[in-house]
Amino acid sequence: MTIEGRHRGHPAAATRWSVDVPAVGSLLLVLFVSLAFPRLIDSTGVQWAPWVVALLFFGLPHGGIDHRIPALMVGGWQRRETVIFVIAYLLAIGLFLGLWGVSPDLGLSLFFLVSLLHFGQGDVYWSRSYGLLAETGAGAGGGRFGGLSRAAYKVLMLLTRGSLPVLLPWLAHPGEFQQITRELGGFLPGLRLDGWDGNGWVREWLLLAILLLSVLQMACGLLLVIIRRGRTGGRQVLMASIVEIAETALLIIVFYLTPPIPAVGIYFLCWHSVRHIFRLMEMAEPMSRHLGRGDYWRAVGSLHWQAMPMTLGAILILSLILVLTMLAGIDVGRLVVPAFLFVSAVTFPHFLVVVWMDCRLTIPGAGRQPN
């Protein structure tokens, strides 16, 4: 049984809206505040509030049980293997931090690429579990053409949903990007990003590429509806397509009109992290047991308890970066330098873990059988 083959009666499927509605509501709220109270949204405290909350509540903990993933996926892992995994995980963090020192341009570019793929893969998984890709999965019909359309939709969703939170905020607000690169350049003198001046051809072509990807993703979603037309479950396919088209449109609007720091912070806290946490809670005991009984808060509490060691370790790393930044005499009022360095470092190994999870195509809550 594959993820796409999960039946719609699965207990977790009914919970999708308890995850998606708060995420959409949070994005609408930050959009409203940005348009109605621009001075408020520009204040440092409001801009960084989602990131502060993310440190302890959903953001950091969403990768806090990465060290348990191999045992959940493969089985037979003992304490020795777990220790080796944690050491390798920390080495990956150190290597990425070292990359910033060796080649700041490469560090920033690789951070954007990894983040783009990671955010995109999170939404692809969500679609394969509860969205359009789940409704048009194995046995849904459509023949080879339908299969190719689904494959195209996966790629388009990966690139579109990754590009929107990673590239669009900075392309739509080049002044913010310039300020961040200037502050990074003060800490990393070798940082040079020619063409990212906010008015160059790179920005124009990237904006056009993101718009094209978004349109193609929406069109491919409608194509899957047409292929599925007239078959059983056609209405569910249509609704799933409409939902994912609306999600993409909402993300475009929010990231284009809202300042990057609060917009990406809300997205990371309420959208990406929550979806991944829900995936983990379906996989691991005792969270999956609590989830099956509808006891969501106990499930979340159990995950946070298991994630506490890694969360505290990540906070320690961030604290060290902050101290080093202050010792270097750099203004950390906006936390740009430590935030970029810290987030990039911890994202890299977490991204690799999730790639491995997706390659094995596990089935949360269904015996964790590989595809």
Residue 175 to residue 359: CA distance in whole angstroms: 38
Q: Is residue 178 part of a domain?
A: yes
**Contact by Cβ (8 Å): 120, 274:** no
Q: Where are the alpha helices (DSSP H) in 3-78?
A: 16-36, 38-41, 44-56, 69-73
Could you tell me if residue 42 is inside a domain?
A: yes
Q: Which tokens sit at 78?
A: 């003992």
In whole angstroms, give the CA distance from residue 55 to residue 335.
13
* Burial class (CB within 10 angstroms; exposed 0-12, middle 13-18, buried 19+) of 189: exposed
Measured CA to CA in angstroms, residue 237 lies from 132, 223, 364, 371 at distances of 6, 11, 22, 23
- Whether residue 109 is contained in a domain is answered as yes
Residues 82 and 67 sit within 8 Å (Cβ to Cβ): yes
Per-position DSSP letters for 157-177, written without gaps between them: HHHHHHHHHHTHHHHH-HHHH
Closest residue by Cα to residue 88 from 358, 355, 352: 352
Length of the chain: 371
From the CB of residue 144, how many other CB atoms can be counted at a distance below 10 Å?
A: 7
Report the Cα–Cα distance between both ends of the chain, in Å, rounded: 7
Quick one: which of 165, 336, 185, 177 has its CA closest to 256?
A: 165
Nearest Cα residue to 180 out of 346, 334, 295: 334
Q: How many domains does the chain have?
A: 1
- How far apart are the C-alpha atoms of 334 and 341, rounded to whole Å? 14
Which range of residues forms the domain containing residue 255?
34-360
pLDDT of residue 113: 94
Q: What is the pLDDT at residue 67?
A: 81
Proportion of the chain in helix, strand, coil states, percent, rounded to 5: 80, 0, 20
Distance CA 251, CA 47 (A): 18
Residue 238's contacts (CB-CB under 8 Å, 6 or more residues apart) are 225
The structure tokens listed for 96 are 């990425």
Task: Give the CA distances from residue 280 to residues 23, 97, 165, 288, 365, in Å, rounded to whole numbers and listed in that order.
Answer: 18, 27, 22, 8, 10
Q: pTM of the entire structure?
A: 0.86
Q: How many Cα atoms occupy the beta-carbon half-sphere of 161 within 13 Å? A: 27
Looking at the domain assignment, is residue 369 inside a domain?
no
Q: Is residue 264 part of a domain?
A: yes
d(CA 370, CA 3): 9
Please give the average pLDDT of every successive group of 10 residues along the chain, which has 371 residues. 39 65 93 92 83 76 82 74 86 89 84 94 92 77 72 95 94 82 71 57 85 95 85 81 95 95 92 88 78 76 81 76 70 64 87 88 42 30
Count of beta carbons in the 10 Å neighbourhood of residue 229: 10
CB atoms < 10 A from the CB of 265, how many?
A: 22
Q: Is residue 368 part of a domain?
A: no
* Locus of tokens 């990237």: 206
Verify cis geometry, omega within 30 degrees of 0, for the bond prior to 286: yes
Question: Is residue 103 situated within a structural domain?
Answer: yes
Q: What's the rounded Cα separation, in Å, for the pair 181 and 185?
A: 6
Residues 6+ apart with CB under 8 A from 200: none
**CA–CA separation, 280 and 303 (whole Å):** 8
pLDDT of amino acid 330: 62
Residue 16 placed within a domain: no
